[in-house]
Amino acid sequence: MGYSGRVDKESRTKAIIYDEAIRVVLTGLQMVDSVKEILKQSSNKDFAHLSVRVGIHSGKIIAGFIGSKVIKYDIFGENVLVANKTKSNAAKNKVTISSATRSLLETSSRALKMWTFQFHGDIRVKEIAKVYQLHTVEIRED
């Protein structure tokens, strides 16, 4: 989740939302790099099949405390379902984003200078009867 809570929802600008999306993708890319580095440096056979799937989706959610005996903080809503489905269908050792996140990032010149997006496939979220395209994030080489 990229929302830092530092800016209340009434003061959130598009620039803040773009920045959060960029930071989440950067974090995902760092996670992928960390796993690759562990594999490169380790001769431990237990790590031979180590991989990570990073799936990112952008949208509004509902968050709050639940429970009476055991209280915990949780998030809810259709965008949580889409995020989970995005992660489950993400490319191995890649950052995979939903079409909603791609649309958001494509409005940021900073993101377009850093990355390209490659079509990965479609996901159907049956609970909300919607289909989303998934894209992998590639570091721009030019």
pLDDT of residue 12: 81
* Whether residue 10 has pLDDT greater than 90: no
Backbone angles phi, psi at 137, to 5 degrees: -95, 125
* CA gap 51, 4 in Å, rounded: 27
Confidence band of 5 (pLDDT split at 50, 70, 90) = low
Choice between 6 and 17, residue whose per-residue pLDDT is larger: 17
List the one residue out of 82, 137, 79 whose CA is nearest residue 111: 137
Span 45-51, mean pLDDT? 86
Looking at the chain, the whole-number percentage of residues with pLDDT higher than 70 is 96
CA-atom Rg of the chain in angstroms:
17
* Whether residue 117 has pLDDT greater than 90: yes
For the chain, give the mean pLDDT.
Answer: 91
Cα dist from 17 to 46, 66, 72, 140, 142, whole Å: 39, 26, 26, 22, 26
pLDDT of residue 16: 85
pLDDT of residue 45: 87
Collapsing DSSP to helix, strand or coil, 53 comes out as strand
Confidence band of 42 (pLDDT split at 50, 70, 90) = confident
- pLDDT tens digits, residue range 63-95? 889 998 999 988 899 999 999 999 999 999 999
* CA gap 122, 20 in Å, rounded: 24
* CA gap 88, 90 in Å, rounded: 6
